[in-house]
Each structure stands twice: as C-alpha cells, then as structure tokens.
Chains A and B, each alone.
Chain A
Amino acid sequence: MVAEVKQNRALLTSAALHTWLNRLGPVLGLVLVIVIFSILMKTPERFLSPNNLRIVLSQTVIVAIGAIGMTMIIISGGIDLAVGSTIALTGVITALGIHSGLAPSLALASGILVGGLVGVIDGLVITRLKVVPFIATLGMLGVARGTAKWVAGEQTVNMADTWLNELLVMFPNPPWLLVAPGVWIAIILAIIAAIVLRNTVFGRRVFALGSNEAAARACGIATDRLKVWIYALAGLLFGLAGVMQMSRLRQGDPTVAAGSELDIIAAVVIGGGSLNGGEGSILGSMIGALIMAFLRNGCQQIGWPNYIQEIIIGAIIVVAVALDRWRTSRAVS
C-alpha cells in the first residue's frame, strides 16, 4: 500500500517465479530422480531400458488416473480420502460383472459408473449435509471398503479371462502399441483433463472455486452444484482406476489399494497442487505420479530395503509440501 509501483513489480516477479516453479519444479524433480538412480545403479542400462520404462509406466497408470481426478478435487479446495476404497469397490464390481456373464465392455462401464456414483454421494454429503470434504470422504473410505467386502462375499472375485486383463500387460498386443493400452488411456485422459481445466468455463470455475469460494459464489457460480460435478467426474476416473487395478490382479480384490489415496494425494502435491485449493496442474500430478513410481522401482533395483524406500518417499512428500508452503508465502508477501 505504501508504494504501489514497487508492489506491482514484486507481484510480477513473484508471479513469474511462481509459474516457473510450478512448471519446472516437478519436471526437474523427475529428471533428478532418474539421473541419481542411473548414477548409483550398478546396471543403469537395465534401469533405463525400454522394458523397465514399460513396467514403470504400467505401474503408474492406477495412481495417474486417480491423480487426474484428485487434481480437480484439490484445485477446487477439496480432498478425497476414499480413493483406495473406491478402487477396490469398482474393481470388485467389474470382476463380479464379468463373473456373472456381462460383456467386458458393460462390466467396465458398470465399474466406472459405480465410481461416479460414489463421487455423487460424496458431493451431496459435502454440499447438502455441510460436512467438510475431509470428514465426508473419511466416512466414504469405510463405507466403500465395507461395501466392497460385502458384495465380494469377503473373498477375492475370480473371473474368466477377457480383454480387460490385457490393459496393463508388459508386452502389449499388438506390439506396435509399445506400451500397455492402459498407459495410452491414461495419457489421453490426462490431455483431455488438462485442456478442460485450462481452457473451458468449467475448468476456470474449478480454479475460482478453490481460490475463493465466497468470491466464486458472488460471481454467480453455483458452487454446490459445481462441487457435486467435480466429485462425480473424479469418481468416474477412480472407477476406471479400479478397473485398471482389477486388470493387473486379474481378479477383484476387496482388500487391495488400502492407503493408495495417500499415494495419489502425494502425486498431486509433489506435482505442485496446493491443499489450500486454487492451484495444481494435470501435468504436474502426472509427473508426481511418475516420480513416486521411479523412486519405488529405482530403490528396488539398487537393492535398498523397503524401509529406506518408505523413508525416502515420505521425505520427498514433506519436501514437496514444504516447497508448496514456501511458494504460497512468496506469492502472498
């Protein structure tokens, strides 16, 4: 307020720095992780081989598709803790569909739609019952997990072999796909979601909602309806992630993916998403997911025990959030 010009300049430079960090930070992190492992590794040619790349990409798909949905939710200022349970539930539903003789495409659709339904319920609880997203989805975490075990009869659901099982194989068929079909699906969805978030009215409203809900409402955005839409859309993506999980296991497992919501949230946060809302990018989240997958893969190939992996991944999450706080404070001051 003292010197308007000076403040403007400060805003400009900090905004420039801000964008620079947002865009390049996660990419740098990914490059750094890959370079460090290549240097430490006794057999870097294996780590960087096309086959290993295929593996890491396939392993990233579930977290990546989940992270697309989670990015939308986190940008809008929300959170979803029920993703792991939703993945288990939709995987079980799809497996049950195939088991009971549904065409694979219909089973796929039912899995995705159940994910969407879970999202709609989350959205309604948040907007109608005025329960904060953290609590609403914490509740859903238990409800969806329990439902998954219930419909699965407390055991894994095995089903006939269909093309759904080929979604995340290491050697895709036909071979000219190079990577598993599921990887291409994730890439295409990420591109669509990035365009929608950046260039459509819906996308701008999601950012507006997360930046300042009161202001967004004052501008005439129907925030409650928007929230339900966001959770529903994200739910559809979580449903697809559940189908992918089922494809990897070749069975519906009601106990799978416990805690994977934390991986997904970590991917978004590492990728520059702010839990305060209003910030985040699909590209960043995808890179965040890749960083975690490469970390796991690299730690294993170097031969580090699990506890070191867990410590490193934990430390990286904290570093990423610390960066997030630091950026936010820079942007405000």
Chain B
Amino acid sequence: MRKLLLILVALTISVSCNNKTAGPAGAKKLTIAVIPKGTTHEFWKSIHAGGNKAATELSAQGTNVEVIWKGPLREDDREQQIQVVEGFTTQGVNGVVLAPLDDRALVRPVEEAKRAGVPTVIIDSGLQTEAIVSFVATDNRKGGSLAADRLGQLLNGKGKVLLLRYAEGSASTTEREEGFLSEMKAKFPNIELASTDQYAGATRDTAKRASENLLNRFGDDVQGIFTPNESSTAGMLLALQDINKAGKVSFVGFDTSQVFIDAMRAGQLHGIVVQNPFNMGYLGVRTMVDHLLGKPVEKKIDTGVMIVTKENLETPEVQSLLHPPLDQYLK
C-alpha cells in the first residue's frame, strides 16, 4: 500500500514538474481563462491561437496577460463545461472567455462567477443572460446575406434555389438561413425559393440523405443551392458528386474544410462563407482585458465573416483566414 502510494506521489510530482515553469509574475498580471466547446477541432485551435496572440501583444504593450486554455473533459458535455467554469471561478482568474455549449445550461455558473467577482465574455454562441461583459461572435445574419449575394450574382438574378436548413433549434444556423432568405427576397425578387423547409440534421450522413431526397425531388429543375454549415455543405457536396451534378448547379456553402477548398478548385463549389475563429479568440481576450482595465466595451462585437470564391482563394487575405498562424501561437 505505502509503496503504491509512493509511486503515485512520484508520478504526480514528475508530471507536475513540466508545468512549474510559469513566467516571472509582473507587477499586475491578468489571468484570463478561455473555455472552448471542445479542444480537438481546428476551429477551436484557431480560437486558442487568437487568444494567445492577444496575450502576447498585450504583454508586449505592458499589460501582463496570461491565457489559460481549458475545454470540458468530455467534449460536448455540458456538465463537464460547467465544472470547468466553476473551477476557474474559485481559482480566482481575472476573467473568463467562454464558448457556451448551451444557451441555458451555462447561465447559472456564469451568473455565480459574476457574483464571485469573475466577469465573463461570451464567444461563438449566445448565452441567455445579461450577466456578461460582451458577446463576441460571427454576425451570422450577415454571413447568410453574403451567401445570397453570391448566389444571386451567379444566377444573374433568376432561377430556382434550394435552401437546405441545418437543424431545428440551432440559433446560429437559423440566423444564417434567415439572413440568406431576407437578402434573397429583397435583392433578387426574380429568384424562386423552391424549397426552404427541409433540414439536413446533425451529421454529414443525415445531410447527405436529406440532400439526395431533395435533389431527387427537384431534379434538373433547380439552379442554385445554399447550405448553412459544415456538415450540411459536406453532405450536399457528396450527394451532388454521387449523381454527377456537382459543378452543374451553383452551390454556396458555409464554413471551411480542405474538402471544400478542393471542390472549389474543381469548380464544384462556387463559394463558401467563412468565419474568423482566430479573430474571435483574439477579440474575446482583448475585450476581456479592456473591460478589466476599466475601458468601455461594446455589448456585441462582430468578428468578421467573408465569402471565399475560386477568384479570391489565392489572395493573402483569404489564405491567412483559411490557414491562421497556429504554429506561431500554439507551442
């Protein structure tokens, strides 16, 4: 028993040694905890890198900032994310930057953190409470309207268009869909919205099935398609490729992946609306630091969204958006 415990102690200490190399504490150091929804996806890594960039910049300007990065132990588990917020609250970090897994479940821990003197900036997805400093996220409505502009131009203002929605109850994608529809109706009255009430579902697989059914129903009678997120775009792309229609209809998607870039080069995808997670992490941390330094901050901050097409794909601006400098900021 004693021996085993000794081994355990040795293990614990040896593991901890790596982490004992914290930098020299400045006169006043601000510790900001950044809590993503998960840690393995590229999207969250970009947010992490952006947060680190903000910390590096601010520290160079004389405000010593440390970013602690910590996701829920089990990805996409609300209870685990709540525990992380609670842990940082009692640890007494100066501020929390949180991407809530749920707009209701994370309200209590965020409100309790505020009562304990720890302010929160919300990034990526909304939270139903007033107890936050700011909401730093993509303007999803604008993203949707950008897609409508692109599709309208591709079709020269006429033809039939499909909207394959993502899933019921998903706030961010619903805003993209609404932005798309209202822009389409306002700017391109001659374009007919053939179907706008079908849902892709949560995964690439369900999206592909829904796309197949929809394409089968409309056949050659449709000229343009919009899908509002990564999985629905991937599913639609697969379905189009399967029936050899990829490239024959104008197709605008949302979010980015290597598959989409390849499809765009092959002329099968004519535009993707891309968010800027790197900027989201950067602005999230900067907004929190501004708040802590007593500067006024906006209640809602747009982190930028743009349309990527075959034409602007190789520009430095788009390339830096698609390939944020992760290596530089993530050791």
Q: Is B244 an interface residue (CB 8 A)?
A: no
Contact check, B91 vs A155: say whether CB atoms are below 8 A apart. Answer: no
Known A-B contacts A156-B102, A304-B19; the reply to A51 vs B1 at CB < 8 A is no
> Does A251 lie at the interface of the complex (its beta carbon under 8 Å from any beta carbon of B)?
yes
* Given known contacts A156-B104, A300-B91, A306-B39, A256 and B77 CB-to-CB distance under 8 angstroms: yes
Could you say which residues of chain B place their CB within 8 Å of the CB of A46?
90-92
Q: Given A42-B22, A55-B89, A156-B102: A304 and B15 within 8 A (CB)?
A: yes
User: Which B-chain residue is minimally distant from A21 (CB atoms)?
Assistant: B1
Do B4 and A323 touch across chains, with their CB atoms under 8 A apart? yes
CB within 8 Å of A: which of B73-104? 73-74, 76-79, 82-84, 86-92, 102, 104
* A42 cross-chain contacts in B, Cβ below 8 A: 22
Provide the residues of chain A in CB contact with B248, threshold 8 Å. none
Query: Roughly how many angstroms separate A85 CA and B105 CA in the complex, as a whole number?
Result: 19
* B262 lies within 8 A of chain A by Cβ: no
**A256 CA to B116 CA in the complex, in Å?**
27
Identify the stretch in A136-144, A209-217, A274-282, A308-316 within 8 Å (CB) of chain B at 4 or more residues. Answer: A308-316
Q: Name which residue of chain B comes closest to A326, CB basis.
A: B1
Q: Check if A303 sits within 8 Å of B90, measured CB to CB.
A: no
Any A CB within 8 A of the CB of B185: no
A317: shortest Cβ distance to chain B, in Å?
A: 12
Q: 1/0 per position for B48-71, CB-CB distance to A under 8 A?
A: 000000000000000000001011
Is A185 positioned at the interface, with any CB of B under 8 Å from its CB?
no
Taking CB atoms, residues of chain B closer than 8 Å to A326 are: 1
- A245 CA to B90 CA in the complex, in Å? 21
Judged by a CB distance under 8 angstroms, whether B300 is at the interface is no
CA distance A257 to B79 in the complex (A): 8
Q: How far is the CB of B25 from chain A (nearest CB, A)?
A: 9
A231-264 contacts to B (CB < 8 Å):
245, 248-251, 253, 255-259
- Closest beta carbon of chain A to B4's beta carbon, Å: 5
Q: Are A310 and B87 in contact (CB under 8 A)?
A: no
Closest to A42 in B: B22
In the bound complex, residues from chain A placing their C-beta under 8 Å from that of B116 are 51, 170
Q: Is the CB of B112 within 8 A of A169?
A: yes
Q: Does A127 contact B (CB under 8 A)?
A: no
Question: B9: CB under 8 A from chain A?
Answer: yes
Q: Could you say which interface size class chain A belongs to?
A: 35 or more
In the bound complex, residues from chain B placing their C-beta under 8 Å from that of A132 are none
Q: Give the docked Cα–Cα distance between A253 and B80 (Å).
A: 13
| C-alpha spacing A57/B104, complex, angstroms | 23
A187 in the interface (beta carbon within 8 A): no
Are A253 and B74 interface neighbours, CB within 8 A?
Answer: no
Complex CA gap A169/B113 in Å reads 11
Minimum CB–CB distance for A89 against chain B, Å: 15
B171 contact set on A, CB distance < 8 A:
none
B16 pairs with A52, CB closer than 8 A: no
For the residues of B in contact with A, the DSSP-based class is helix
Given contacts A245-B79, A249-B105, is CB(A312)–CB(B73) below 8 Å?
no
B 1-43 binary contact with A (CB < 8 Å = 1; else 0): 1001101110111011001001000000000000000010000
The CA of A21 and the CA of B70, in the complex, are separated in Å by 36
A25 contacts partner chain B, Cβ-Cβ < 8 Å: yes
Residues of A within 8 A of B299 (CB): none
Judged by a CB distance under 8 angstroms, whether A23 is at the interface is no
CB-nearest residue of chain A to B15? A308
* A323 engages B1 (CB within 8 Å): yes
| In the complex, chain A residues whose CB is within 8 Å of the CB of B13 | 36, 40
Q: Are A251 and B105 in contact (CB under 8 A)?
A: yes
Q: A306 touching B73 by the CB < 8 A rule? A: yes
Q: Give Cα distance in the complex from A259 to B72, angstroms.
A: 14
A25-49: which residues lie under 8 A (CB-CB) from chain B? Answer: 25, 28-29, 32, 36, 40, 42-43, 46-47, 49
> At the interface, yes or no: B168 with Cβ under 8 Å from chain A?
yes
Interface residues of B in 136-172 (CB under 8 A from A): 168-169
B115 within 8 A of A: yes
Complex alpha-carbon distance, A301 and B93, angstroms: 10
The answer, yes or no, to whether B107 is at the interface (CB within 8 Å) is: yes
**Which are the 10 A-B pairs with shortest beta-carbon distances?**
A52-B90, A300-B87, A249-B105, A301-B91, A170-B112, A55-B86, A51-B90, A40-B16, A55-B90, A251-B104
**Further contacts, 17 of them, CB under 8 A, given A156-B102, A170-B89, A171-B112:** A32-B8, A36-B12, A43-B92, A51-B90, A51-B116, A156-B105, A158-B104, A170-B112, A248-B82, A251-B102, A253-B78, A257-B79, A259-B74, A300-B70, A304-B16, A304-B19, A312-B12
Give 25 A-B contacts (CB < 8 Å), ordered by A residue: A25-B1, A28-B5, A32-B9, A40-B13, A40-B16, A42-B22, A43-B91, A52-B90, A55-B86, A58-B86, A155-B169, A158-B104, A170-B86, A170-B116, A248-B108, A249-B82, A250-B107, A250-B108, A258-B74, A258-B77, A296-B87, A301-B91, A305-B70, A306-B71, A326-B1
